[in-house]
Structure 1
Amino acid sequence: AVYADMDLTPEDDGPPTAVPEGEVDAFLQVVEALQTSTRAFHSQCPRDEWHTTLERVGKAVETMGAMLLADTNPTRLQSLLFPVSGSAFSAVIAYLTARPKKSPGAESTDDAESAFAKLRGLMFQALTNLISLCSQDHLVSEEEPQDGVYPELSRRCCQSIMSERGVEAMLAVIKSKESPEVLRVAAVECLFVFVVRNGHGRSAFAEGGWIPQLLTHLQVESCPVIRNFICAILREFANQHAASLVECQYFHPSVALVQNDPSPDVRALTTETLDCIFKVRPRSFASFPAKAALVEAVRQRLSSEQSADVLNAVFRMLETVFAIEGFAYP
């Protein structure tokens, strides 16, 4: 994937600098090229023009990424990514929901659709990079005002994702039975970065009521990589949004995951999530609906678990539970 291995952490958060008007115009031209090309896929684009258009879009995405990475000063990023019009976010997300139409005179568009699926994967990577560049919550100190450049960049990133229905696009691909697995992995990785790196995005996802959808899909998902990502995403909600997990009955499937899931990452992450919920909401353990099943799951892990990460998570959860059991509820 383009720029997948590059460090997207801004090199310098120095004083705001004026962005040359010509640079903004050049970036907007790239965004406009993406917007113009996506409209071609909504019409019956002749078959022989498919690959030419796809190649042109791929080059535009590469150019956009290179321009952003040339100088990752947050003030510059804000000027390029959030002008009055022509948002890069809307241009990229449009490809995630586009569906190619059959070319005139063609019996099949399987090859074109396959190429378009690869392009959508590239767009998920581009969106992941955009989110990473804008979401630098870990660089914001407690002393920095909430209207500082980093918090504002993060907020506008989340606002763009939500207004363009980016979360819905990610979830649709993750749950799609028709989409190639590599594309679904790209979608869940993008969602993971949005939830982990962007505090506004994490809150918006929880408040949007999407946690139950993710939990429901986890129980039917067969791809180990996607299952790992979903568990990691759910883990992110355990600190500040534990109530959302409790309300969507996270406890019932979590016990089965701890006991039976073949992936040690899933077992460890699920146990960590339970531990965190019990820590921040001790009363949730008092009303835990499946204590006997949890005890059996823990017994099984202690007797047969080979993963050190899983065992460490189980021991930490037991420590939390023992502390809670000695807590006198008023």
Structure 2
Amino acid sequence: MTLPPVAVAITDAIVSVRGVSKTYAGGFQALKNVHLDIRRGEIFALLGPNGAGKTTLISVICGMVNASEGTVTADGHDTVRDYRAARAAIGLVPQELHTDSFETVWATVSFSRGLFGKAPNPAYIEKILKDLSLWDKKDSKILALSGGMKRRVLIAKALSHEPKILFLDEPSAGVDVELRHDMWRLVRELREAGTTIILTTHYIEEAEDMADRIGVIRKGELIVVEEKATLMRQLGQKQLALTLQQPLATVPAALAQWPLTLSTDGLTLTYSFDAQKDDTGIAELLAALGTEGIHFKDLRSSESSLEDIFVSLVHENKEVTA
């Protein structure tokens, strides 16, 4: 399976990654020659299995890990040579829950704002806490909060200095449904206000719902970067399942031109096809079934989800170029 090359010169890019590789002590190569542009104001979802390099890539972009090779710019600032300016443009919500346990919610979020040299803005902090349903906890010490509430505090801290770029590294891991809804509502509002959102998630339905573009990383290599709709159109397939009136022992040789699979009980024939290319295949298949004396009593169609596409990309044996 071959996809179009990843664009390397997006003029409205707010994050640009050029030839980034990272090799840790001991020789493990976590990233391999990654090129990526993230557009200003988009929601970009970075998908990949555990250990694929997602967190390492985010850490390099945020300046917390030094790349072995390559360069990164954030909002026009080199993340190594101009670290402070680059980091000031970025808010990061990490996977791990690490907060100042003995501080109050209000104090730790306000302190985070001050770390980036921002003047106090109680009205803005209040808005963040209310948006994240933390207002009634503003005077509570963080050690007294539940895990879900601590996750909300991390998001509030990341937003405290009004970043142009927000990284959400597995933000839904272990959180309740209410927080998930609050968080995605806030993400949409931030995007509408011009904030660029980059998220990694194991909840692929969230990426399908939220993202403008999708990137897939596998074994440290970025194998696909594409518009979500284009990716699903290029790689998505549809299936037509036919429930037969009588079971078949095998698929007749006369139907070999169609990619058909037969269920173990012989009662369901499934036809997989590319909806963009298959103009006459279904009609011809149904006619051929009639010719062979095969009759069906029900049919239903389904379409590949982003999760199906992700699994096929990550696990396929063919070489995929990006």
After TM superposition, is the score higher than 0.5? no
What is the TM-score when the length of structure 1 is the normalising length?
A: 0.25
Structure with the higher helix share, 1 or 2: 1
What is the TM-score when the length of structure 2 is the normalising length?
A: 0.26
Structure with the higher strand share, 1 or 2: 2
Q: Which has the larger radius of gyration?
A: 2
Q: Which has the higher contact order (CA 8 A, sep 6+)?
A: 2
